[in-house]
Structure 1
Amino acid sequence: MKKLLLSLLALPFLFSCSAIDRDANADALAKPARMSRMLLKTDPFLLTTFVRITDRSQPVTIYIEGDGLAWASRTEVSRDPTPKDAQGLALAALDPAANVVYLARPCQYTDRSKNPSCAPAYWTGKRFAPEVITAMGRAVDQVAAQVPGQKINLVGYSGGGAVAVLVASRRQDVASIRTVAGNLDHAEVNRLAGVSQLTGSLNAIDVAAQVAKIPQIHYSGVNDRIVPPSISQRFTQATGSACVRSVSVPGADHENGWINRWRELLNTRPTCG
């Protein structure tokens, strides 16, 4: 019987961050990038988003946050999955594109009293549940409506990478996908770690064939011990497509080494061939 009952992705967050005002940190990241906080109703969740739409004749790039603070300690589930450092938002704030939107994951940055469907299962075993992906897809629908007729570029950090792929598999308007330290096969990630599987969650690698024609780049940190480069490589192989690349970034791990080079990485556009 497994002694560890939590996902490996919780390990970076096994400490209290009570001294950190996570909402204030998000606002501080978004303000210099002229991104405004908004709420999107996407049954059954109310999602927090930060938005900068300045040219409706251009595509929109949507950033999807990671899993956040899933666990408060090694044995205690967090009461609030809001990330302490919002890596996905930090990346979005660096993107110079005209239209950039950040989507928090369900139950992040939102008042539980306004989000009665929120339950710990949605930031633990059911973090990629069908209803979660449906809700995130509805949020993307609302963003797409702000730039009618334009394509969508998806960027996902960590577990947000899985969400990006799963959402893309249900759409026809996605021009590209980028992931950063993306958990593109949570079953393999947890198998490698010897921890319990995510019961009730969809797995991105299972839809690899459905997204194979979408240009993609999946970035992994060479030093990432949480989601090692083998995961993005495994996903890329599963697509069997020249449109999909996995790139290992020296000096980066799961959380570190991305912010200072993101604008440079953005200069490489996903292409087919």
Structure 2
Amino acid sequence: MRILNPVSMQRGRFIVALLGMVSISGVTGCANMNRNAHADSLAGPAGLKRELVNTDSFVLTAFSRISRPGAPLDLYIEGDGLAWISRSEPSLDPTPREASGLALAATDPAANVVYLARPCQFTPMAMNPRCGVPYWTGKRFAPEVVASMNEAVNQFAARVPGQRINLVGYSGGGALAVLIAAHRADVASIRTVAGNLDDEFVNRLHQVSSMPQSENAIDFASRVAAIPQIHFSGANDTVVPPSVAQRFVNAAGVRCARALTIPDLAHDSDWSGRWPGLQAIVPACSPTIPGQ
């Protein structure tokens, strides 16, 4: 029987650990490549070009198609992505596997379409020293996140000077669509798809921790109440059930806000397949009645 001395054993453990790290790194790298490749496969046929957007807090990844600067801009915001591996274990990279927000944008035939990924999604972490687990868990709607996303919207708005912006947000991107709209005067409409418009209510529903460092979209409902908006929910959505959209509409008022529940769809269903028909439903405010 061969007896290993302590130095040999320690060296062996180090080599095993190193090989394990290399293996994990390789798997992570492949996963990132797959997620990026999937995003490119969605964006390419739609003429959406990948670009990086520098803001004060984060470098964001966007896919854009600006072909007529004199026309309005449709701007899509991604959901929370791969924020959690399990109920209690956060991911190390929130880049979405499926990029549902990008899939919606890819079906939009408008002349000017922009998709914005959330902080730390798709962009190499080395370019974002600020990135860390809090920014895709408890701080995902933090004021600095909203400010960064709004800065990016400013940069794309400058490419279509004087034009109005139609905001579309999927899941957590719906919350950011509202939070961004609350800071702007050029938003023509808001559409959310399975939007997390009341994170305190949703977190209580799922018995998970609150997010005191994040802003809650429903608290800003009155500030966007005059913007035409539709909030789409899936009838089978158990992650963000239709009651969330209705709560937001109740807070915003029904003159300009509308909640629509779509049969047979869940949170992660093929929303992009239904999007051309849903996008054709135009948000509008009801006429004001004198004396009311």
1:195 corresponds in structure 2 to 208
- Which residue matches 1:10? none
Once the two structures are TM-superposed, the CA of residue 127 in structure 1 deviates from its matched residue by 0.2
2:100 corresponding residue in structure 1 = 87
Q: Could you say what the CA RMSD is over the residues aligned between the two structures, in angstroms?
A: 1.3
Is the CA contact 1:20–1:84 (under 8 Å) kept in the aligned structure 2? no
Query: Letter of the aligned partner of 1:232 in structure 2?
Result: A
Show CA shifts across 1:160-192 (max 9, x none). 000000000000000000000000000001111
Equivalent AA in structure 1 for residue 160 of structure 2: V
Where structure 1 has 5 or more consecutive residues not aligned to the other structure, the ranges are 1-15
Write out per-residue CA displacement over residues 13-33 of structure 1, whole angstroms, 9 at most, x where no aligned residue. Answer: xxx994971000000000000
Superposition pairs for residues 55-66 of structure 1, below 5 Å?
A: 55-66=68-79
Match status 1:217 vs 2:230: yes
Q: Tell me the alpha carbon deviations over residues 84-142 of structure 1, each in whole angstroms, 9 at most, x when there is no partner.
A: 00000000000010100000000000111111111110000000000000000000000
**Conservation of the 8 A alpha-carbon contact between 1:251 and 1:257:** no
Q: Residue type of the partner of 1:71? A: W
Q: Which runs of 4+ in 1 moved over 4 A?
A: none
Q: 1:135 aligns with which of 126, 132, 148?
A: 148
- Give the 3-state SS of the residue equivalent to 2:91 in structure 1: coil
Shift of residue 77, structure 1, vs aligned partner: 1.6
Any idea what SS the aligned residue of 2:80 has? Answer: coil
Output aligned runs, 1:218-237, within 5 Å: 218-237=231-250
Identity, % of aligned positions: 60
- Secondary structure at 2:210 match in 1: coil
Find the counterpart in structure 1 of residue 81 from structure 2. Answer: 68
Q: Distance between the aligned counterparts of 1:51 and 1:259, measured in 2? A: 17
Query: Rg bigger for which structure?
Result: 2
Does residue 98 (structure 1) correspond to residue 127 (structure 2)? The answer is: no
TM-score by length of 1: 0.92
- Listed as ranges, the matches of 1:143-162 within 5 Å are 143-162=156-175
Q: Which of 44, 48, 51 is the aligned partner of 1:31?
A: 44
Secondary structure of 1:30's match?
Answer: helix
Q: 5 Å matches for 1:164-203?
A: 164-203=177-216
Count of aligned positions: 258
More helix as a share of residues: 2
Q: State the shift of 1:74 in Å.
A: 3.5
> 1:176-226: per-residue Cα shift (whole Å, max 9, x none)?
000000000000011111111123100000000000000000000000000
Task: Give the TM-score, by structure 2 length.
Answer: 0.86
Aligned partner of 2:281 in structure 1 is: 268
Give the structure 2 partner of residue 45 of structure 1: 58
Q: Could you say which residue in structure 2 is the equivalent of 1:204?
A: 217
Aligned letter for 2:108? Answer: D
